[in-house]
Amino acid sequence: MLQIPWKTKGIVLTAPQPYKNEVKDVADFIEKILAPSGVNLVVLQTRYRYRFQRHPECMGYDPLSPEDVKMLLEACRRCGIKLIPKMNLLGHQSGLHNTPSDGILHGHAVDGVTDFRDGLLRAYPMLDETPGAETGFYARHLCLSHPLLPSILFDLMDELLDVFEADAMHIGCDEAFNIGLCPRCAGTPPHILFSTYINMLRDHLAERGAKTLMWSDRLLSSAETGYHAYEASANGTDGAIDIVNKDIVCCDWHYESHDEYRSVGVFADKGFRMMISPWKDRESAGKFLRYAIEHDRGHIDGYLQTTWCSSGELARHYLYGAPPQWHNTPALIETLNEHFLSPDAIRRNA
Ligand SMILES: [Zn+2]
C-alpha cells in the first residue's frame, strides 16, 4: 500500500441495496476494512436511490430509507470517517443495469439499445435534453435551461444533505456530452451553459453550508491535455474552468494509463484544489498516484478511489470471501489490495 501524503483518503461506494439486506454488510465493511486502512471519507453514490419525501416520484430503484442512511452514518462516525452523498446532476440520467444485475444503473446503453431512465427523468421526461431520442447515447442528460429543473433538484439535494447530516456533496457532472442540443439551450455556448449551471448548484450548496465536489473532466480540454474525450472535454465546455467558483473541489478521474497527467498542473495553474481518482487498473492507478505525488504544488487534497461495482459485492468479498460477480470487479480488487487497503485489515477479516 502506497503511503499517501494528503489529508484525505476517500472512496466512492455505490449505495447498498436494502432489498438484498446489504446495508449492514456495507456498514461492517466500512468499520472493519476501510477504517483500519486509513480511509477518512466515503462518498456514497446515491443518485436517486433514496426515499425522498418531497418528491417520492423521483425515487430510484431500491431506495435507501432514512434508517439505512443513519446506520451507515453511525458506522462512519464511530471510526472517524466523513460520509457525504453523491448525485449525478447532469449526465448519467439513464443506462443499463450491471450484469449480473446488481441494481446499479451504470451500464452504457449505446445506439439501438433501450436505456432505463433514472428517477428524475422517469418522473419528469420533459427535463431530458434529448427527450425524443430512442436512446440517450449511453446516458441521458438533463436540460440545463429548463425552468422546472432548479426547484426540483434543490429539494432533492436538500433532503440528502439533511439525512446525511452532510457538509459537502459530490454533484457528479462527468461525461456530459449532450449539452446545448435542445431548442432552449441551442445558441448558448456549452461552456456558458455548463458554468452557469455548476455555479448555481455550488451556490445552493454553499447557502446550506455545504462544499461542492464534482468530477472535473468537463473543465479540461481534451486537445490541450491529451486525454480522450471521456477524461476531458471535446464538446466546448472546458472554458468553464475560468468561470466556475474556485472553491469547488475538482475530482480528477483517469482510468487509462498516461505518461503525463497534465490535469494535475492545470488545476494548480487555475487555482483549484483537487483529488485524484483512479479506478480498477492497477498499473494506471499506480502511475497516476506517483505522478500526482511528484507534481503536487500543495493543491492536492487527497486520493478518492472509485469502484463502480455494487458496494454489497465488495463487502461480501472482503468480509466473507464471496467471489466477485461483475466482470470489472476482479481487477478492481487487485488495485484496492495493492494501492488502497491495508494488508492487515484484509488478513484479519480473511
Ligand atoms: Zn436544453
Indicate the domain borders of the chain. Answer: 8-348
**Strands 168-170, 274-277: pairing kind:** unpaired
Residue 109 alpha carbon to ligand 1 centre in Å: 21
Pairwise CA distance, residues 254 & 231, whole Å: 6
Give the distance (Å) from ligand 1 centre to CA of residue 182.
Answer: 4
Q: What is the pLDDT of residue 107?
A: 75
Question: Quick one: pLDDT at residue 137?
Answer: 76
**d(CA 244, ligand 1 centre) in Å:** 19
Q: How far does residue 124's CA lie from ligand 1's centre (Å)?
A: 14
Residue 94 pairs in a beta bridge with 117
Q: Tell how far the Cα of 27 is from the centroid of ligand 1, in angstroms.
A: 39
Q: Which residues fall within 8 angstroms of residue 72, CB to CB, at 6 or more apart?
A: 16, 23, 26, 27, 30, 42, 44, 83
Residues 6+ apart with CB under 8 A from 181: 129, 130
Q: How far is the CA of 111 from the centre of ligand 1 (A)?
A: 21
- Angle formed by the axes of helices 66-78 and 149-164, to 10°? 50
> What pLDDT does 85 receive?
98
- Alpha-carbon span 124 to 83, nearest angstrom: 29
pLDDT in tens, 279-327: 999 999 999 999 999 999 999 999 999 999 999 999 999 999 999 999 9
The Å distance, Cα 110 to ligand 1 centre, comes to 21
Q: CB–CB of 119/58 below 8 Å? A: yes
Task: Report the topology of domain 8-348.
Answer: TIM Barrel (3.20.20)
Cell of 85: 452523498
Which residues does the chain have with pLDDT short of 50? none
